[in-house]
Structure 1
Amino acid sequence: MHEDQVDVTAETVAILIRDQFPHWSGKEVRLLRTTGTDNAIFRIGDDLAARFPLRRAEAAEALVVLQREAGAGAELARVSPFPVPEPVALGEPGAGYPMPWSVQTWLTGTVGWDADPGGSDGFAEDLATFLAALRRADTRGRTFNGAGRGGALTRHEDWMDLCFAESEGLLDVPRLRRVWSGLRELPREGADVMSHGDLIPGNVLVEGGRLAGVLDTGGFAPADPSLDLVSAWHLLRQGPRKVLRDRLGCDDLEWERGKAWAFQQAMGLVWYYVESNPTMSGLGRRTLDRILGSED
C-alpha cells in the first residue's frame, strides 16, 4: 500500500516473541487479514494482539510514536464506557524487522467491515454514548497538536487540491469541488475536546447490531469537537445518523463541520487506495455518496 512499506511475517513475529517475551512463546501467532493501512496485526494466543508499523521510520522516532500511542490508549481505557484495547508491552527491533512494535489486549467482536452497523439505531445510540464520554474527558489543558485532521479545515487546501487532481476519472470532481468550497469555510466554534480521531468501520467492533468495542485508540487526543462526527458518515445510514445527532444535541454548524472532516478524509481514501486497498477506497466512495445525498 505504501512505497516505504515494511513487510513482516508470522515467522518473524514468533521469533521476536521467543526472544523478547519468552513467557508468551507457547502462544500461537496468527496474521489477521485486515483492511488496516498503518499496521500489520498479529493475534498472539487468545488474549493478545501485536501491532507492527508498516511504514519505515527511524527506530528511535517510531518508539516515541508507540510510547505516545500507548499512553493515549491507556488514557482512553480509563474513560471509555465500551471496551478498548489496553497496552501491555513494547517490543524492540529484531529478526530483520527494523522498528519497535506494540502488544495490546485482544477484544472480541466483529469489525464494522464485516458486521455493518449502519442501519442500527441501537448502534447509533451506543456511538453517541461513547462520543459523549470522550467529550467529557479532561483535556488537562492540552490542545490540538496541529498535525492531521482536527484543527482548521483551511489548512488542508494543498492536500485537497492533490486529491481533486488524483480523482479525475474516478469521481465527479467539479461537483465535489463545489461542495468542498462551502464546507471549507465553516467557522470553528467551541474549545477542543478529547477525540478518538479515526472512527471508521475497521475501528469499531459490533455484536448484535450494538457497539461492542473500539479499536485503534492511539490517536486519542484533543481536537475540534466535530472531528469524531466523521463516524456519522463513515458508519451510519440516514435514520441512525439522525439518532446520533439528536442524542448528542449537535447544532447545524457542528454537524456540518463533522461532514467536512468526513469529506476531507473520504477524498483521500478513494484515489490513494484505489488499487492497493479496494475496501478503504470503497469506504471513501460510500461516505462521499452519503454526503452528496445530504446536499441534494
Structure 2
Amino acid sequence: MHPGQHPVGDGLVRRLVAGRFPRWAGMTVERFPSGGTVNAMYRLGEDMVVRLPLREGGAEDIATERDWLPRLAPLLPTAVPQVLGAGEPAEGYPWRWSVHRWLAGENPEAGALEDPVALARDLAAFVAAMRSITLAGAPQAYRGGPLAALDAPTRAAIGELRLIPEEGVDCDALTAVWEDAVRAGEWDAQPVWLHGDLMPGNLLVDGGRLTSVIDFGCTGVGDPACDLFPAWNLLPAGARKVFREALGVDETTWARGRGRTLSQAVIALPYYRTTNPAMARNARHVIREVLAERRTGGDGVSTRPLPFRPHP
C-alpha cells in the first residue's frame, strides 16, 4: 500500500516470536486479514495477536500503545488491547512490535448494523469516557491539532478526485462542506483525550453492541471533534442523531467533526482506491453520508455545549 513498506510474512513472525519470546515458539502463526494501513496482524495461537508496523511511522504508534494502554484501560467502558509482550528489532525487521491479547468480535459494517441506535449509544459512552480522562502528561493526538493544518492537503485531495471522473464525486459540494468546517473556527478550549482513529476497522462488536476499541496509536489530547468520525463513517442518519445528542455536540464542533471526517475520506480515496478496498469503500461511504447530510440541512438536533472535564 505504501512506498517503502517493509515486507512481512509468517516466517518472519515465527522467527521474531521464537527469538524474543521462546515460551511462545511453536505456536501457530496466521496472517489476519485486515483493512488496516499501518500494521500487519498475525494470530499467535488462539489467544494472542502479533502487531507489526509496515512502515517507520507505525513504530511510534507501538510505543504510544505500550505507554498508555495500561493506564487508559481501567478508565474505559469497553475492552482495549492488552500488551503481553514488547518485541524489538531483529531478524532484519527494523522496528519495535508487540504481542497483544486477542479480542474477539467483528468489525461493524456501515449499512449492515444489527442495532444502530444501541451502537450509537455505546460509541457515545466510549467517547465521553475518553473525554473525562484527566491523566497528566498526555501526548498531542495525531489528528487533534488545528483544522487549518488540513486545509492544503484536503483541497489537494479534492483536486485529485476531480481527475477521477469514474468516482462520480461532486467536488464542488465537497469543497463547500470543507469550507463550512473551516469557517466554524478552531477549538479554543482545553484539549480533551481522544482515541483519534475511530474507524470501523478499529471497533469490535458482538450482537450489534460495541465490545472493544482497538488501535490506540493515534491517542492523545486535542480537538473533541476528532472523535466524531463514527457519525459519518458508520452510523446511519437516525443513529447519528442519537450519537450527537448523547454527547451534546454544539454546531461548530459538529461542523469541524464533519469536516475532519470528510478530509480523511477524500485524502484516503485517491490514495487507497486500488490498493485497499476496505479503506476506499469506507471513504466513498463517508462522502455519500456527508453530502446527504448537507442536502437535508443536517439532522436538526438542538444541542447544549459539548461537555468535557478540563485536562490538567
Tell me the TM-score normalized by structure 1.
0.92
Q: Quick one: which amino acid aligns to residue 161 of structure 1?
A: R
> 1:96 Cα deviation (Å)?
3.0
Counterparts of 1:242 and 1:8 in 2: how far apart (Å)? 42
Q: Which residue of 1 aligns with 2:144?
A: 150
The answer on whether the counterparts of 2:269 and 2:280 sit within 8 Å (CA) in structure 1 is yes
SS at structure 2 position matched to 1:43: strand
Q: Which residue of 1 aligns with 2:155?
A: 161
Q: Which residue of 2 aligns with 1:196?
A: 195
The answer on whether the counterparts of 1:118 and 1:237 sit within 8 Å (CA) in structure 2 is no
1:38 and 2:38 correspond: yes
> 1:119 Cα deviation (Å)?
5.4
SS at structure 1 position matched to 2:229: helix
> 1:256 Cα deviation (Å)?
1.6
Among 54, 60, 65, the alignment partner of 1:69 is 65
The answer on whether the counterparts of 2:194 and 2:227 sit within 8 Å (CA) in structure 1 is yes
Q: Which residue of 1 aligns with 2:175?
A: 177
Q: Quick one: which amino acid aligns to residue 53 of structure 1?
A: P
Gaps of 5+ in 2: 296-312
Cα offsets for 1:257-285 (capped at 9, x unmatched): 21111111111111110100122011111
Counterparts of 1:151 and 1:116 in 2: how far apart (Å)? 32
Counterparts of 2:50 and 2:88 in 1: how far apart (Å)? 12
> 1:117 Cα deviation (Å)?
3.0
Q: Percent identity?
A: 36
SS at structure 2 position matched to 1:40: strand
> 1:194 Cα deviation (Å)?
0.5
> 1:220 Cα deviation (Å)?
1.9
SS at structure 2 position matched to 1:211: strand
Q: Quick one: which amino acid aligns to residue 148 of structure 2?
A: T
1:219 and 2:207 correspond: no
Over the residues paired in the alignment, what is the CA RMSD in angstroms? 2.0
Q: Which residue of 2 aligns with 1:137?
A: 133
Counterparts of 1:234 and 1:29 in 2: how far apart (Å)? 32
Tell me the TM-score normalized by structure 2.
0.87
Counterparts of 2:52 and 2:207 in 1: how far apart (Å)? 30
The answer on whether the counterparts of 1:70 and 1:218 sit within 8 Å (CA) in structure 2 is no
Counterparts of 1:133 and 1:41 in 2: how far apart (Å)? 27
Cα offsets for 1:14-48 (capped at 9, x unmatched): 11111110101132111001111000101111111
Q: Quick one: which amino acid aligns to residue 82 of structure 2?
A: E
Counterparts of 2:6 and 2:99 in 1: how far apart (Å)? 18
The answer on whether the counterparts of 1:118 and 1:235 sit within 8 Å (CA) in structure 2 is no
SS at structure 1 position matched to 2:79: coil
1:117 and 2:113 correspond: yes
Q: Quick one: which amino acid aligns to residue 150 of structure 2?
A: H
Q: Which residue of 1 aligns with 2:230?
A: 231
Q: Quick one: which amino acid aligns to residue 266 of structure 2?
A: M
In structure 2, the CA distance between the partners of 1:111 and 1:65, relative to structure 1 (3 Å rule), is closer
Cα offsets for 1:129-160 (capped at 9, x unmatched): 11111111014264736xx4222111112211
> 1:70 Cα deviation (Å)?
1.3
Q: Quick one: which amino acid aligns to residue 209 of structure 2?
A: R
Greater alpha carbon shift after TM alignment, 257-266 vs 85-94: 85-94
In structure 2, the CA distance between the partners of 1:213 and 1:143, relative to structure 1 (3 Å rule), is closer
Cα offsets for 1:170-202 (capped at 9, x unmatched): 322222112212212212243211000000110
Alignment of 1:87-98 (within 5 A): 87-98=83-94
The answer on whether the counterparts of 1:190 and 1:225 sit within 8 Å (CA) in structure 2 is no
> 1:116 Cα deviation (Å)?
4.2
Gaps of 5+ in 1: none
Q: Which residue of 1 aligns with 2:306?
A: none
Q: Which residue of 2 aligns with 1:19?
A: 19
The answer on whether the counterparts of 1:85 and 1:104 sit within 8 Å (CA) in structure 2 is yes
The answer on whether the counterparts of 1:233 and 1:287 sit within 8 Å (CA) in structure 2 is yes
